[in-house]
Amino acid sequence: MLFDRLIEKINPETSNEIVALADGQLISLDKVNDEVFSKRIMGDGIAIALTGNMIVSPAAGTIKMMFPTMHAFGLVLDNGIEILVHVGLDTVELKGKGFRRFVNVNAKVKKGDPIIQIDREFIEKEGYETTALMIFTECNGYQITFSQEGAVKKGKSVVAVFAK
């Protein structure tokens, strides 16, 4: 165990921590204004009421899917955990306006790497909520423990941990 902790300090990408994908306020999925997410139909996870405009990778892995509208992407960690990141509610209707991506499908990313930049002010002006969701669609045998509500910083604040 000591050796494992030393390796994690040397190489934080081996850590079992999932970090905030954006700056904002961490909220329970129960409070999300969309039943697909609040009732955990697609899986459990966390939500962040955004205060910033940059969406980063919550962990090291591979981008396996990117919606053409750039409002959502899928990340697969090396251990098989799959995470769906969905930015905003009903923002697919914007057809990509207000979104700019930095990576393509099959890109290898590290924790904190920029994935999508949004124009939060534009999206909100258009009448859409800018809550970002991180849904664990496949846990691959891991138990995920989620952080509670509070202020979070992208790429820094731990919002979930996983263990076998």
Indicate whether 13 belongs to any domain: no
Which residue among the candidates 43, 47, 52, 86 is catalytic per the annotation? 86
150 pLDDT above the threshold of 70: yes
Asked about 71 being catalytic, the answer comes back as no
Indicate whether 1 belongs to any domain: no
Supply 95's token pair.
Answer: 């057809």
Indicate whether 23 belongs to any domain: yes
Three-state SS for 108?
strand
Indicate whether 97 belongs to any domain: yes
Identity at 157, one-letter amino acid code: S
Biggest distance spanned by C-alpha atoms of the chain: 51
State the average pLDDT for the chain: 91
Whether pTM exceeds 0.75 = yes
Indicate whether 6 belongs to any domain: no
C-alpha to C-alpha distance for 131 and 51, rounded to whole angstroms = 9
Indicate whether 158 belongs to any domain: yes
Number of domains into which the chain is organized: 1
In this structure, the strands spanning 114-118 and 99-101 are antiparallel
Indicate whether 37 belongs to any domain: yes
Indicate whether 154 belongs to any domain: yes
| CB-count burial class (<10 Å; 0-12, 13-18, 19+) for 8 | middle
C-alpha to C-alpha distance for 127 and 121, rounded to whole angstroms = 10
10 pLDDT above the threshold of 50: no
C-beta of residue 24 within 8 angstroms of C-beta of residue 134: no
Going by pLDDT thresholds of 50, 70 and 90, the confidence category of residue 67 is: very high
What is the domain range of residue 125? 18-163
Neighbours of 55 (CB within 10 A): 27
Which among 32, 66, 37 is positioned nearest to 48, based on CA atoms? 32
Three-state SS for 53?
coil
Could you tell me the CATH number of the domain that includes residue 91? 2.70.70.10
